[in-house]
């Protein structure tokens, strides 16, 4: 059974600092997603990672995927307040790519 | 292009009442999903539909029914609401040629 674990679940950081959110999954998968959710809002797709070693960057966020370690990271560089949100990783169920298994989310607060 | 729309945005029900949550997408996507989001539980798949005329159970289908009315619309019905169904419900859709799921704005349901 595919399980997805994110850590940390809560993260409070200062503006200008760097930090990494980790997403581990338990069985083989061929795609991993990162989504962002602002409080009271819907989910917005950030990145889709499809292959081992994939790296994608958008602004201060960079996501990477290591399929051998079953690990994805979301790295935040020089955090700003606007990045405060909850970040979810989700993993495609191998063989059934329409279904995703979701992590519990990392609630990020960036403080001045 | 409205994307994924959901109605209603908010709803309060009494235990035992029934209601239908509506979802529509205008992106010509084949796959549609219903999730519930509870604090500390991440997103859990209730039902999904891979194409018009087909539906399948997700992780937490008990107490719910769905209808894929046509390619655009996918509704979720609570026949006899229970307080445990208090949650935020998200509908999502995905095209065959895309990887991401696109989410609606959500319905906040309270069952008293």
Contact A104 B58 (CB under 8 A): no
Contact A104 B94 (CB under 8 A): no
If we measure between CA atoms, which residue out of B82, B88, B90 comes closest to residue B13?
A: B82
Of B31, B41, B103, Cβ closest to residue A98: B31
Which parts of chain B sit beneath pLDDT 70? none
Task: Annotate B36-50 with DSSP letters as a single string.
Answer: EEETTTEEEEEEEES
By C-alpha distance, the chain B residue nearest A42 is B105
Q: What is the tens place of the pLDDT at every residue in A74-105?
A: 999 999 999 999 999 999 876 665 688 899 99
Contact A102 B43 (CB under 8 A): yes
Contact A105 B42 (CB under 8 A): yes
- The pLDDT score that the predictor gives to residue B16 is 97
- The pLDDT score that the predictor gives to residue B33 is 96
- The pLDDT score that the predictor gives to residue A94 is 61
- Spell out which residues of chain B touch residue A31, defining contact as CB-CB under 8 Å: 99
Contact A41 B90 (CB under 8 A): no
CA distances from B76 to A25, A56, A70 (A): 29, 35, 34
Interface A-B: count of C-beta contacts within 8 A: 41
- The pLDDT score that the predictor gives to residue A85 is 96
Quote the minimal CA–CA distance from A106 to chain B in Å: 10
- The pLDDT score that the predictor gives to residue A52 is 84
Contact B105 A100 (CB under 8 A): no
DSSP A59: T
If we measure between CA atoms, which residue out of A8, A10, A21 comes closest to residue A76?
A: A21
pLDDT by 10-residue block (mean), chain A, 112 residues: 92 95 90 94 94 92 95 96 96 72 95 90
- The pLDDT score that the predictor gives to residue A95 is 60
Strand bridging mode B31-38 / B42-49: antiparallel
Residues 6+ positions from B39 with CB-CB distance below 8 Å? none
By C-alpha distance, the chain A residue nearest B105 is A42
């Amino acid at each position: 059974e595919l399980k997805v674990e994110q850590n940390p679940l809560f993260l409070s950081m200062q503006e200008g600092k760097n930090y990494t959110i980790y997403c581990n999954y338990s069985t083989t998968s061929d795609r991993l997603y990162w989504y962002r959710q602002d409080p009271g809002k819907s989910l917005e797709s950030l990145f889709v990672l499809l292959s081992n070693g994939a790296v994608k960057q958008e602004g201060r966020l960079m996501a990477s995927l290591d399929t051998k370690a079953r690990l994805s990271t979301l790295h935040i560089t020089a955090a700003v307040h606007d990045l405060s949100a909850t970040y979810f990783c989700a993993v495609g169920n191998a063989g059934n790519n329409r279904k995703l298994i979701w992590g519990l989310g990392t609630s990020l607060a960036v403080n001045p | 292009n409205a994307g994924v729309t959901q109605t209603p945005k908010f709803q309060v029900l009494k235990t035992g009442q029934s209601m239908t949550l509506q979802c529509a997408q205008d992106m010509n996507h084949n796959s549609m999903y219903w999730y519930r989001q509870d604090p500390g539980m991440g997103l859990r798949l209730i039902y999904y539909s891979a194409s018009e005329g087909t539906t399948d159970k997700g992780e937490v289908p008990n107490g719910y029914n769905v209808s894929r009315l046509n390619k655009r619309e996918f509704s979720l019905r609570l026949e006899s609401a229970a307080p445990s169904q208090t949650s935020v419900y998200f509908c999502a859709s995905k095209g065959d040629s895309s990887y991401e799921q696109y989410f609606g704005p959500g319905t906040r349901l309270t069952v008293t």
